[in-house]
A and B are shown apart, each in its own frame.
Chain A
Amino acid sequence: MPMRALAAFIKKEFLHIFRDKRSLLVIFCMPIALVMIFGVVISTEIHHAKIAIVDLSDKVRSQQLIEKINSSGYFQTVAYLHSTLNLEEVFRAQNIRLAILIPPHFSKNVENNASSTLQLIADGSDLNAATTLIGNASNIIQEFAQETSVALRAPPPFRVLPRMHYNPEQKDVFMFIPGILALVLMIVSAMMTSITLVREKEFGTWRLLSSTPLPSMVIIVGKLIPYFLLSAINSCLILALATSVFGMPIHGSLWGLLGVCFLFILTSLSLGIFISSITNTQQAAILASMVGLFLPTTFLSGFIFPVENMPAWLQPIAHIVPAKWFIEAMKLMMLKGATLHSVLKQIYVLTGMAVLLLAISMRRSRKQAT
């Protein structure tokens, strides 16, 4: 391979990238923006939800419980009531999400170690939020029950101790980071590569290059190296953000993790080459990337919706989405501390996809040449 020509070609490719403000924006600002949006703005964790407490007991123990609820950080009590009469009005007027009903004799029952039943009334018009709030409230009440029974030296009949293994704090951002990484690498590696390759076709420079003795392999490799480097930088950037800002753990080996990222970049690059081989204009390439890459990467990869919950006919489609395998491997390695050896299946699938896509696009471009 003529190395000087390759180096000149790579330099030219970087000039294209750095002189185009839009591509700079996509390559360097978008990843950070995406991580921030998913990490900070979009969150199913709810803090300081407005609630009402109906205290029908109004004694020491119930006040202790209320204090515990208020200091948890999950809730902000905006109304204290002593009867349920006005509850409906409070729901409407103060826009509360949850009401906690403490029954009469609660305090006495606690002292006597007898059982009492509390009622949680949630605003079911936002079902996801309601479920989360009920979960949070139940946890606090359970904890309170255990604490008081310990304080009273009476052993509770039994306890349930739920724990979210691998994500004890139940942080959403841990679920999103692998997906964001997949999305960003898809955009930079697959979409940008396909656009720049198709641009050469559209502007006729591809024909000019093919009239020179430069082997077409140099053109392809010269296109891929810059985008590989940029994608690799992006992977490191996103992982650094994930660990430093959001405290995401990397339980597996960092090198193994980066290795899987680089493999996924290669798969995305071959997707980009494939898209450029089936399109002739930049617009068509963008459209093909949107439909063929982003929709599946966002909705079918397990990024937002778990693959297991999809209807049976959709699952096989999800299995041909490269990002699905990448996200799987990333979650295993980052959260469960899996070694490269235990994600071999994902590695094989991603490698296979890259080889297949490259083979198809090479066949196609050879056909076009004759």
Chain B
Amino acid sequence: MKIDLTDTTSARINAGLIDARRASGTPAVGMVLTLVIVTDEGSAYDALKSAHEASTEHPSRILAVIKRPGRSPRERAGARLDAEVVVGDEAGTGETVVLRMHGELANHAESVVLPLLLPDAPVVCWWPDQAPRKAGTDPLGSLAQRRITDASSAEDPVGSLVMRAEGYTPGDTDLAWTRLTPWRSMLAAALDQKHSTITAAAVEGEAYNASTELLALWLADRLGIEVERKVSDGPGITGVRLVTTDGDICLDRSDGRLAELSVPGQPDRHVALKRRETAELIAEELRRLDPDDIYRATVQFGVDHLVTANGSAKGGKDPDSGPTAAAGATASAAKKAAPGGKAATPK
């Protein structure tokens, strides 16, 4: 069921939600969280689709905030709230409200969102593309326990990781990090087995790929070794190599689908390691709503390192252009011309 409300208020939207639920015969709902999606008209469709898919695992109230400040001074001076309330089939298992905020109201989105949050349930805020510099202090972001950004969708993915590290507030997370979970679990499982000391590592992936940088940072942080960042044609991350005294532990994925794991003294094996859809990533994010300390350590590892190892890694580059750790610096600055720069080094 769909109710269109033009030039409306939060109170009328709340009443509309109750009406819609009554009419569809489901007055009680077991929604577990409110998901606020901050986006624009262009990305709204895809983002809502992913959120609806994820809502089969996490029934939620989805609030899509679409800001339309307007192009002319007259439009900018006015303020209007239009809303689309969707309950039932089209809205996945929960309910969806698309909020279009015109004119001056676009600067006060939190005033609309606050009364529409589910009582007592966690709030998650997701920016599918452009995220504020510091998500935790953003008026919408500060309503949420969990803030999801996506460095990969930014103009400068690696640079935006630096921004994430600097503006980190507990509860922040990034889809570039979520995309890594299968890689990280496979590597962790490989090291569950007996292995000799790891002396060096290399991570290979597309240029301008925030996930690849994060994986390099994670390995450098956890293993306390130098990690080399290599550039390949992708898709995404294409391989990880851990150098041990007995030989290399390799996880290679050339087609974005099926990887090959080779471990010294063991046969080579295939591992399914498919690149995941946004809906799956969001579902994973919504599973845990507490701060992700490992993400913090990883993303800040680069920045910390940058401070201590200063000049050598940073070179003479614009600090904003991406030197998340040395890894970012070499990869983004050297572009494809010079693959294989030294990446993150331990403190």
A, B co-complexed: no
Q: Which residues of B contact A (CB under 8 A)?
A: none
Q: Which residues of A contact B (CB under 8 A)?
A: none
